[in-house]
Amino acid sequence: MGFFLRWLFAFVLVAATFNPTSFNYVRWASSHLTGQLPLTVLLGLLLLVAWVIYLRATIRSIGGFGILLVTAVVAALLWVLWDWGWLSLDDPDFSLWIGLFAVSLVLGIGMSWSFVRRAISGQYDVDDADEE
């Protein structure tokens, strides 16, 4: 359940920042920038804080090579699904949702990797030593 919640928050973060609908920060901010500048800045900073937390945790837990590897595995999975005819990438909006899902999956795995590594190996990260 922990991984699912971390991934779900990552997906909400990615989709709230940008998605193909009109319900995202980028489109809202571009249409409300002049009328509601303080609110636009506040929401942008809150999104930035969430992005920094997720990106920093992901980079610290799996590193740049891990991010590349997870992205490659997700891309290979999508390629297999497309090759078998289970996935169509003809619709640009659907393709964008697939990309958003992939980014959120990488962030969710990055946030969860320390817990997985501890469960598999029994080894703690340096940051985890204060928890117990």
Residue 111 domain-assigned (yes or no):
yes
Range of the domain at 84: 2-124
Is the predicted pLDDT of residue 124 greater than 90, yes or no?
no
pTM: 0.83
Q: List the one residue out of 60, 53, 55 whose CA is nearest residue 128.
A: 60
Residue 35 domain-assigned (yes or no):
yes
Residue 104 domain-assigned (yes or no):
yes
Residue 132 domain-assigned (yes or no):
no
Residues 90-117 pLDDT 10s: 999 999 999 999 999 999 999 888 777 6
Give 3-state DSSP helix, strand, coil % of the chain, rounded to 5. Answer: 80, 0, 20
**In the chain, where do the E strands start and end?**
none
What is the C-alpha radius of gyration for the chain, rounded to an integer number of angstroms? 17
* 3-class secondary-structure state, position 113: helix
Residue 69 domain-assigned (yes or no):
yes
Task: Tell me how many domains the chain contains.
Answer: 1
